[in-house]
């Protein structure tokens, strides 16, 4: 590719409206801010070390936990959200449903007023443009009882910026079946449901997220590709996969020496969405992930991923129309 062409492609990607449908707010914490909040992290950053360095999926979960441990007060959460909004605006993010993991906050800081921390975040996000809401992520490792508490918390914030619940954590050890009752309770409370699956466990985990939990979207789902039946089921039912290439390459969910599964899955008719997962922790950004897709498969594929994100988002029909119009005009 000619340099000028590459430049204009990048400029076009920058100008496109972007949607966060798979982004963990805690995972957007700027390393410099983490250095100020976390014990010992400041020295690492000062000596030029990456405070977020890790090797493999279990080690990544530990880094994520350490970031959650560094956030102690509602004021810390407000700062996290404020800096996130600035970074999102700079990349033309226009809409987002962001994950937060209050059960993990409480695990590290039992004294934290979780509702006040959520309020603090929502206050920062409520600023008008872009439009953001929250999905409270249940942590598989903490079991169904803790998960039920998260559903109750989500329900109590349902008209105040929380739109659903998600499922994260260790999918290999804590399968979907454990959370069937939790997801049923969420649906009964009028909450949307999504689930991470097919990232650290195989295609059966994706099938269970859809058939047992009735998740409306799947986080990652890269390993669905190992089973043609699961791929066909996703395509038939129109269940979108929220795909985060850099995250998958760094955690080992996808082979970094091969093109990301997003391309094969899109070819197979599965609705695919692009996002960055934990952008700060993975040293990436939503714009960099969009660029990766556009450089490999063209701006047309990226536009279709954005259109899919709008369609599969939990936004109201009018909002969806406005977002599609913004995409068409960009």
Say how many residues make up the chain: 330
- Closest distance of CB 242 from Zn ion, Å: 8
CB nearer to Zn ion: give 277 or 287. Answer: 277
Tell me the catalytic residues.
199
Tell me how far, at minimum, the Cβ of 4 lies from Zn ion, in Å. Answer: 36
Q: Contacts with Zn ion in 79-108 (CB under 5 A)?
A: none
- Measured CA angle at 255 (ends 2, 135), to 5 deg: 95
Q: Rounded to a whole number, what is the distance in angstroms from the first to the last CA of the chain? A: 23
- Scanning residues 105 to 124, which ones bind Zn ion (CB under 5 A)? none
CA distance 151 to 157: 10
Cα 269 to Cα 148: distance, rounded to the nearest angstrom: 34
Binding segment for Zn ion (CB under 5 A), chosen from 174-182, 219-227, 309-317, 321-329, is 219-227
What are the residues whose beta carbons fall under 8 Å from the beta carbon of 64, sequence distance 6 or more?
24, 26, 27, 278, 281
Can you tell me the distance from the alpha carbon of 206 to that of 223, in angstroms, rounded to the nearest whole number?
8
User: Using CB under 5 A, which of the segments 36-44, 155-163, 213-221, 320-328 binds Zn ion?
Assistant: 213-221
Measured from the CB of residue 74, what is the shortest distance to Zn ion in angstroms?
24
- Minimum CB separation from Zn ion for residue 22, in Å? 6
Binding mask 166-205 for Zn ion (x = CB under 5 A): ----------------------------------------
Contact string (CB under 5 A) for Zn ion, positions 266-305, x = contact? -----------x----------------------------
Q: Report how many residues bind Zn ion under the rule CB under 5 A.
A: 2
Q: If you count DSSP H runs as helices and E runs as strands, how many of each does the chain have, helices first?
A: 16, 8
Is the distance from CB of 96 to CB of 127 less than 8 angstroms?
A: no
Q: How far apart are CA 252 and CA 173, in angstroms?
A: 17
Q: Which residues bind Zn ion (CB under 5 A)?
A: 219, 277
């Amino acid at each position: 590719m000619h340099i000028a062409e590459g430049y204009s492609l990048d400029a076009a990607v920058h100008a496109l409206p972007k949607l966060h449908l798979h982004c963990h707010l805690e995972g957007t914490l700027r390393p410099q801010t983490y250095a100020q909040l976390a014990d010992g992290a400041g020295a690492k950053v000062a000596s030029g070390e990456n405070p977020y360095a890790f090797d493999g999926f279990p080690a990544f979960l530990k880094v994520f936990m350490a970031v959650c441990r560094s956030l102690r007060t509602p004021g810390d959460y407000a700062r996290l959200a404020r800096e996130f909004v600035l970074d999102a605006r700079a990349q033309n993010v226009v809409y987002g449903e962001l994950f937060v993991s209050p059960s993990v906050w409480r695990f590290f800081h039992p004294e934290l007023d979780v509702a006040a921390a959520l309020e603090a975040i929502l206050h920062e996000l409520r600023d008008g443009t872009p439009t953001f809401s929250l999905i409270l992520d249940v942590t598989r490792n903490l079991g169904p009882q803790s998960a039920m508490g998260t559903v109750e918390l989500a329900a109590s914030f349902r008209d105040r910026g929380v739109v659903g619940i998600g499922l994260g954590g260790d999918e290999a050890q804590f399968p979907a079946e454990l959370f069937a009752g939790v997801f049923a309770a969420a649906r009964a409370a009028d909450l949307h449901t999504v689930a991470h699956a097919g990232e650290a466990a195989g295609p059966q985990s994706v099938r269970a997220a859809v058939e047992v939990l009735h998740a409306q979207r799947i986080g990652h789902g890269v390993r669905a590709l190992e089973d043609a039946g699961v791929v066909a089921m996703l395509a038939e039912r129109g269940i979108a996969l929220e795909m985060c290439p850099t995250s998958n390459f760094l955690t080992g969910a996808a082979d970094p020496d091969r093109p990301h599964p997003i391309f094969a899955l899109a070819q197979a008719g599965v609705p695919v969405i692009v996002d960055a997962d934990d952008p700060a922790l993975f040293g990436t950004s939503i714009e960099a992930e969009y660029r990766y897709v556009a450089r490999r498969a063209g701006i047309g594929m990226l536009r279709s991923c954005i259109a899919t994100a709008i369609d599969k988002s939990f936004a109201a029909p009018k909002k969806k129309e406005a977002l599609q119009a913004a995409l068409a005009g960009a």
